[in-house]
Structure 1
Amino acid sequence: MGRHGPGGSCRGRGRSWWRRHGRREYGRPSKQGSDWLRWILCEAAQTAKRSPEFAASYQRLARRRGKKIATTAIARRLLARAYHLLRAVQVQHDRQGSR
């Protein structure tokens, strides 16, 4: 489980990595996971990158790395937020159910 829980790597948004000469090297985002979910996340990121909450980070990344990579980064952030929101709702539901 990564920093953002299971959402990134098992949904095809995580970055692949391998060991070389005793250190970790990172590659492109993996293409594993649901094609449909990957498409939906990128579509949501197309809209989210125009919102004030993501616009500054998108512009910064787009200048430095390119528009497609910046859109993928925004999609990963959306997925991480959705995971944390759903996790918080689940914890709250579990607490209310145990009373």
Structure 2
Amino acid sequence: MEKLPALTYSHNWNNKLNSHVHTTLRLWNPAKYYKGAKFEEFLKGESIGTVLVVEVKKLKLAQVNDYIAGLDTGYLAASCHEMIKSMYKNIVNDWKVQELAFVLLIRID
């Protein structure tokens, strides 16, 4: 069995990981997040299954509106922005230029 790259989560925001189809917001990386890519998902270090990337949309943090934030995290945009900034505080210097990947995933196992 092939070893898949990992998608790790520290929280199950909005209980989305319980759904057959769900999203994740990640730093833009087209070599990693592309249509057809497969990942093993981990929640707090425990494997929760395998997913397939259905779609990837590129956006900036300012474009993460209440609709996107609500679906992905269960919070409105302002709170979601703060969570994302906190998660990547040691990686991202300029949120005006940093691109994000809004990734649509489907569980395949």
Is the structural similarity TM-score above 0.5? Answer: no
TM-score (norm 2): 0.26
- Find the structure with the greater CA-based Rg: 1
Q: Which has the higher helix share?
A: 1
Give me the TM-score of the superposition, normalised by structure 1: 0.28
Higher strand share: 2
